[in-house]
Amino acid sequence: MYLLLAQGTPRPRTVNDLPGRDRRGAQASPLNGAVAWRSAAGVRLAVQAAGLGLALCGAALAQGLATLAVAVAVAGVFVSPLITTAYLIADETAAPEARVQAGAWVNTAVNAGGTAGAAAAGVLVGWLPAGVCFAVTGGVMMLTALAVARRATGRAKGYGKSRTPEVTR
């Protein structure tokens, strides 16, 4: 999709404007484009990061496998919107000729963070109980949410309104 945008192809306005494979993936998500966000993307990013942090802290308190599975599932609900919002912010804040590169940097950050987090978790799990590892991870996400919230609310305009395509029925 980024390649199409870089070549000057018009931006898709609805899910049905996307190429075939992307359209099927986008339609599989029941909330994709269905929410008309009223808050700035920076504020949403902070709220989503805080939600993920709280869910991970909740996983630290899980007493059994079933409650751990529920807590991790709740945490998983925040991951895709968080990453999507990061892409939207990169797209909003980059100059038109640099949007593809900004999206690539978000992708690089997600992959590098996942790799570094997995490596750190692998080391820590050998020394600490799993609950402590979840609590540390949740705490890091809460600090990230705080940093993003301070930056988003510290600007007069925030990150601006995202250009989420309108849903047509």
Angle at the Cα of 157 from the Cα atoms of 144 and 153, rounded to 5 degrees? 30
Query: Which tens digit of pLDDT belongs to each residue from 99-156?
Result: 999 999 999 999 999 899 889 888 888 899 989 989 999 999 999 999 988 887 665 4
**Contact criterion met (CB below 8 Å) for 141 and 49:** yes
Instruction: Report the distance separating Cα 124 and Cα 169, nearest Å.
Output: 49
Cα separation of 106 and 140, whole Å? 19
- Beta carbons of 46 and 135 less than 8 angstroms apart: no
Model pLDDT, residue 48:
92
17 pLDDT above the threshold of 70: no
Q: How does the average pLDDT of the chain come out, rounded?
A: 77
Spatial separation of the C-alpha atoms in residues 99 and 71, rounded to whole Å: 35
Tens digits of residue pLDDT in 79-102: 988 999 999 889 988 888 999 999
Q: Which pLDDT belongs to residue 60?
A: 92
pLDDT: is 60 or 41 the higher one? 60
Per cent of the chain over pLDDT 70 is 68
Measured CA to CA, the distance from residue 13 to residue 127 in angstroms comes to 50
